[in-house]
Amino acid sequence: MPAEYSRAPSSPVISIIIPTLREEQFLERTLANLDSLQIPHEVIITDGGSQDRTLDIARAHNAKITVWTESRRQTFGEAKNAGAKLATEAFLVFIDADVLIPEPQKFFEETLMAFEKNPKLVGITVPLKPLPENHSLVDAFMSAPLNWFYIVSNNMFHSGNSSGEFQMMRTDAFWKAGGFGEHLAAGEDNEMFRRLATFGRTLSYYKLFVQHSLRRPHKLGWLRTYGIWIKNGLSVAFRGKAAYKEWSVVR
């Protein structure tokens, strides 16, 4: 691990921000998976008002917690920005509550090295794979176009695109870009990477990957899910607003 990252645990290098809303099914596994990470880090749970065991699980893992208290539903952008405001160090990592990072120590050693080698690099995303118990040939086939889209758009066209399952960025670049768009019901992840790409490089680090539950395509179907993603992505890109007033919760 580079010497500059070997710092006391009281001074985190990585702030891992996880938006939550009724995530007791996945959060314990997600947080336990990070226990092996030795690079100084902190975990921040930004909760939208869970009434299940989500916050108990977060407290058991000594996470920082911020809770949304307004009557209306919190947007993803508001949740992620609230977590970023609690962050203390150089890199922000945004993941979903149903995401696992294989071999976290090795994973973040590689991403931190990529940032160190390229001072112009401001944001990294990685390909997505299903959790092992959810894997099927259909899932692998249907996940491939999305992963290739992010590889081509970031690494070849430098246009900046990313899903929200995993995004890592320099903290100073995050605030320079203005944080996530809080007005967007969905699509704030892609929109954020596009703004980052206007003053720095974004990268889809295809040698790494994260695993996620695929709960939305499993519940709604892959074709319907792709239709929703495409409709919303085009709306955000060309109209500056989401195609939906509220992003449906899938649990």
Note whether 125 and 196 are within 8 A (CB): no
% pLDDT > 90, the chain: 73
Q: How far is CA 47 from CA 74, 118, 193, in A?
A: 9, 34, 23
Question: What integer best gives the mean pLDDT of the chain?
Answer: 90
How high is the pLDDT of residue 46?
97
C-alpha closest to that of 13 among 116, 82, 103: 116
How high is the pLDDT of residue 4?
40
State pLDDT tens for residues 153-185: 999 999 999 999 999 999 999 999 999 999 988
- The reported pTM is 0.91
Sequence-ordered list of residues with C-beta below 8 angstroms from that of 54, at least 6 positions apart, any chain? 20, 21, 22, 23, 24, 27, 45, 47
Q: How far is CA 163 from CA 52, 120, 241, in A?
A: 26, 21, 17
Q: Domains, the chain, ranges and CATH?
A: 3-239 (3.90.550.10)
How high is the pLDDT of residue 247?
67
Helices then strands, counting H and E runs in the chain, come out as 9, 10
What is the pLDDT confidence band of residue 205, given thresholds at 50, 70 and 90?
Answer: very high
